[in-house]
Structure 1
Amino acid sequence: MSRKDTGKILASMLKSTEYISCGAKIRLILAMAFPAMCAQISQILMHYIDASMVGQLGPLQSAAVGLVSSSIWLIGGICLAVVSGFAVQVAQNIGACKLIKARAATSMGFFCLITLSLLLSVVSAVSADRVPYILGGTEDIAPMASSYFLIYMCAFPVLVMNMYAASLLQATGNIRTPSLLNIGVCILDVIFNFIFIFPTRRFEILGCTLTLPGFHMGITGVAAGTALAEGVICVIMLWMLLVRNEQLHIRREKLYISPPVIFRAFRISAPICLDHLATTGAMVASVAIVSVLGTRAIAAHSFAITAESFCYMIGYGTAFAGTSVIGQCVGARRRDLARNFTVIITVIGVGMMTLAAVVMYVTAPVLIGLLTPDEEIRELGTAILRIEAFAEPLYGASILIAGCMRGAGDTMIPGLMNSGTMWLIRIPLSLLLVKTMGLQGVWVAMALELCIRGCLFLLRLRGDGWLKACDRKKSAV
């Protein structure tokens, strides 16, 4: 199956009244999920290389980036939730062949996201000096963390526009284009970071001397390189969406503010936003818990999260495909396909994450070792990464099922399950176990919470609650 045809193939399945084989559905999901997984893995590889570059600067610089990373995720998740509110509507309207409404939702999304991202960028820039200290940072790392945070958040609106354009292309069933462009972000990020972080250097290759320019910006070069890479790809992404895309390209249609579209986006995105605030807030709290253990514990915690991302981003890539597929199934009023595709997506994703978890457990010393030359950080990072490997299959189940239910517009209960297990299980257990087990205790608490969360999502998948939400969307599209 050609990846270029996935959108058209899905549309034909939704219109067909004949039996669709399980093999055809699996091939469609794999064709849509594979480029998304590659993009997610390449992004993690980008962060991995970035972390390795920063690790070469020293443990203080690594700790500075790790200190504010969770806060950046927190702010980014707010806009990601709003992106989902509009992208789900676009997918559902495309599934229902209501392209004018799909374009109306697209334009409303641009207006709301530009306004929100600019506001968050200004607030973050003003408070950049105080954020590291609020998170428990000490005088030796707080100034570096503040500079990194400031540069990154000044470029935040560009990152949000890139995110929104990619989500809309995925909503049309075109997973390949945004995935390839996101891989391009990763490649440019590595190149730019190498130039911005380090000083000008000379290399001898086959007797020839090559000079590689560098600005020697250190930790701030990481944020500057990422911002520039996102800006270049954002221009291309918007062109592919607004000029080249068949369903959503700009037409001579009257643009107007549509309160129903905004209200529906709020109804979908508000639970996602609250969930992300609660879960990422719990991650910030975890960083605060870890920070009392010292600089090397913070660095090991940050490196292990980066290394673990290779595993769970496979699930997120498949979940993105699931959101698009289920959204269009709901728009086409195909309840049967919505449930069937969700089960297939969950089985495929959990299987791949299980294999990835085995690889992660075996290669943990190598994954952490590539990030830092510090032996103590390597040993600590390896230990906690192997603890987390046992939770990856059930963690994958929660990611995949939540992504599919998001496409159906069912976001409230999944959000409550995510945030509830974080604050009622992970944080209390972390506070209890950190006293006796140190950093390993924090990661034991994390693994147990993820396993419980996965079981809850599997139980919800067996029921009909999320399908009732799917049915209610029939009259809303």
Structure 2
Amino acid sequence: MTIFVTDSIMIGPLGTHAFAAVGQGSMMASYMIFPLWSLGTATSAVVARYIGAQDMKSARKGAGQGIFLAILIGLVYTGAGVYFAGDLLILIGTPQEIAESSGVYLAILLGFCCFQAIRLVGSSILRATGDTRTPMWATAVMNGFNILANWVLIYGIGPFPRMEVAGVALASGLSYVISACIVMWKLTRKNPVFFITRSDMTQIARDILRTILRIAGPNMAEMVLMRAGGLTYIWIVTSLGTVSLAAHYMAIRVESFAFMPAFGLAMAVPPLVGQALGAGKPEMAILAVRRTVKAGVYGMIVLGFLFILVPGVFVRIFSPEPDVYSIASIVVQISALELIGVTLNMIYGGAMRGAGDTVSPMIVTFIGAIIVRISLVYWMTILLGWGLSGVWIATAIDWSLRAIVGWILFRRGRWQNIKV
């Protein structure tokens, strides 16, 4: 998330077309990569349960099998992504003036998908063991390197060629490599708390693999549904033209600032829930979720007021042209309406997934992404002619409804009885 934000800031001075190309390419890349979060969530749930039950041998084996699957799926994603990058962008109606540069960006970025998979799954495993420091440092080093590499490769500093949009993708890909290496070093380094061996990754444990895939399956289906709805959503946004497309991605990047702390809270919930249930203490899981919700809601209220009062302050960070600035400022104000809904959806969904209940979040996503969002976006944007504002109003309604449904499902407590 932070990489895409810094990429957008540093490519902004090159103009609307370059910004829109990176925005379109990064959005498609995130659509393809997001199912890997499902694998990380499933592996984290398995590892956390075993740790809670004091079965460290099975926890290590579960972690190793998760890394094995990450490498395997990452390699498949890399091959398919590089080959079909251009076709994927054509599918969503990418404007001709940015199609070529956006295609190059996407192909380069997906070429590093295997390292991204290792980074995501490995970080989830470390959090499940209680180690939140290593993922934080790996992310910090990754972002620091990305900023330096962006500066060098976008503008051709020193002996390096001026690569512009392609340079952004290459810098991000190399950053993923560094982060993946840090995570794997920590996972395989022998220590008294937790580590995995080569045999944990290479010797197949069918029972554990089946458990991981059983948990990951509905979550991956959720991601596929979400991205299928997202493709239709982006197709409608793309039809509004390059200026609206650039403003849309600019508003998303501004919104990302708000979601960074919310995302951190949501990432902390699954291992806490998994370990509490593994230890037979569901009341501790409920307490952890309630406290996380309270912190998330308070933070989003403050940021929501800032988005409404001074949207231009955030938009100017990305060096927009005047026509893009005016549209982006309006939709940033509208985005304030969805901050609490998105945060609650992430926390409640993360809690249920951490317990191994990946079916309930899948149902919520199907209702929201496929039925509610697409219908409302089409109605408000195309039929009513509200343009990009209609897209964001519809999205805010969708997230609010998902948060309500997620809260109801969490209160019902089915997740407390899931067997891993």
Query: Could you state the TM-score of these two structures normalised by the residue count of structure 1?
Result: 0.84
Report deviation, 1:374: 0.5
Report deviation, 1:139: 2.4
Match for 1:283: what amino acid? G
Compared CA separation, residues 268 and 402, structure 1 to 2 (3 A): same
Residue 181 (1) aligns with residue 181 (2): no
SS in structure 2 opposite 1:66? Answer: helix
Residue 420 (1) aligns with residue 367 (2): yes
Residue 195 (1) aligns with residue 152 (2): yes
The match for 1:329 among 261, 264, 276 is 276
Q: Distance in 1 between matches of 2:149 and 2:32?
A: 24
Compared CA separation, residues 391 and 138, structure 1 to 2 (3 A): closer
RMSD: 1.7
1:170-249 alignment, distance < 5 Å: 170-200=127-157, 214-249=160-195
Match for 1:129: what amino acid? G
Match for 1:412: what amino acid? V
Are the counterparts in 2 of residues 70 and 283 from structure 1 also a CA contact under 8 Å?
Answer: no
Q: Distance in 2 between matches of 1:268 and 1:386?
A: 38
Compared CA separation, residues 252 and 420, structure 1 to 2 (3 A): closer
1:441 aligns to what? 390
Deviation string, structure 1 residues 281-311 (Cα, Å, up to 9, x no partner): 2222211101111100110011111110111
1:130 aligns to what? 87
Deviation string, structure 1 residues 78-133 (Cα, Å, up to 9, x no partner): 22211221121011111111010011111211221111110111011111232221
Fraction of identical pairs, as percent? 25
Are the counterparts in 2 of residues 342 and 404 from structure 1 also a CA contact under 8 Å?
Answer: yes
Deviation string, structure 1 residues 121-155 (Cα, Å, up to 9, x no partner): 10111112322211202322111011001110111
Are the counterparts in 2 of residues 70 and 280 from structure 1 also a CA contact under 8 Å?
Answer: no
SS in structure 2 opposite 1:128? Answer: helix
Residue 386 (1) aligns with residue 343 (2): no
2:413 aligns to what? 464
Are the counterparts in 2 of residues 117 and 156 from structure 1 also a CA contact under 8 Å?
Answer: yes
Deviation string, structure 1 residues 396-442 (Cα, Å, up to 9, x no partner): 11111111111111110112102311211111111111132011001
Structure 2 portions without partners, runs of 5+: none
Residue 349 (1) aligns with residue 317 (2): no
Are the counterparts in 2 of residues 354 and 393 from structure 1 also a CA contact under 8 Å?
Answer: yes
Q: Distance in 2 between matches of 1:389 and 1:396?
A: 12
The match for 1:304 among 245, 251, 269 is 251
Residue 99 (1) aligns with residue 56 (2): yes
The match for 2:112 among 155, 158, 161 is 155
Report deviation, 1:363: 3.2
2:212 aligns to what? 265
Deviates more, 1:67-76 or 1:168-177: 67-76
Q: Distance in 1 between matches of 2:128 and 2:122?
A: 10
Report deviation, 1:245: 4.8
Deviation string, structure 1 residues 242-277 (Cα, Å, up to 9, x no partner): 105534324596763222211111121111111111
Q: Distance in 2 between matches of 1:236 and 1:245?
A: 15
Are the counterparts in 2 of residues 350 and 394 from structure 1 also a CA contact under 8 Å?
Answer: no
Match for 1:118: what amino acid? L
Residue 340 (1) aligns with residue 287 (2): yes
Deviation string, structure 1 residues 169-189 (Cα, Å, up to 9, x no partner): 111011122112211111110
Residue 61 (1) aligns with residue 8 (2): no
Compared CA separation, residues 127 and 337, structure 1 to 2 (3 A): same
Which structure has greater helix proportion? 2
Deviation string, structure 1 residues 212-262 (Cα, Å, up to 9, x no partner): 554210100001011112212321221111105534324596763222211
Report deviation, 1:47: 2.6
Are the counterparts in 2 of residues 402 and 414 from structure 1 also a CA contact under 8 Å?
Answer: yes
Q: Distance in 1 between matches of 2:300 and 2:159?
A: 40
Q: Distance in 1 between matches of 2:341 and 2:234?
A: 23
Count how many residue pairs are aligned between Structure 1 and Structure 2.
417
Match for 1:231: what amino acid? V
Compared CA separation, residues 296 and 323, structure 1 to 2 (3 A): same
Query: Could you state the TM-score of these two structures normalised by the residue count of structure 2?
Result: 0.95
1:108-119 alignment, distance < 5 Å: 108-119=65-76
Are the counterparts in 2 of residues 67 and 135 from structure 1 also a CA contact under 8 Å?
Answer: no
Deviates more, 1:443-452 or 1:107-116: 107-116
Report deviation, 1:62: 1.4
Match for 2:216: what amino acid? S
Report deviation, 1:390: 1.5
Q: Distance in 2 between matches of 1:143 and 1:252?
A: 42
SS in structure 1 opposite 2:85? Answer: coil
1:397 aligns to what? 344
Report deviation, 1:61: 1.4
Report deviation, 1:446: 0.3
Are the counterparts in 2 of residues 73 and 280 from structure 1 also a CA contact under 8 Å?
Answer: no
The match for 2:310 among 363, 382, 390 is 363
The match for 2:221 among 258, 274, 279 is 274
Are the counterparts in 1 of residues 64 and 196 from structure 2 also a CA contact under 8 Å?
Answer: no
Match for 2:336: what amino acid? A
Deviates more, 1:88-97 or 1:308-317: 308-317
Are the counterparts in 1 of residues 95 and 242 from structure 2 also a CA contact under 8 Å?
Answer: no
Q: Distance in 1 between matches of 2:64 and 2:196?
A: 10
Report deviation, 1:357: 2.0
Match for 1:164: what amino acid? V
Look at both structures and tell me which one has the larger radius of gyration over its CA atoms: 1
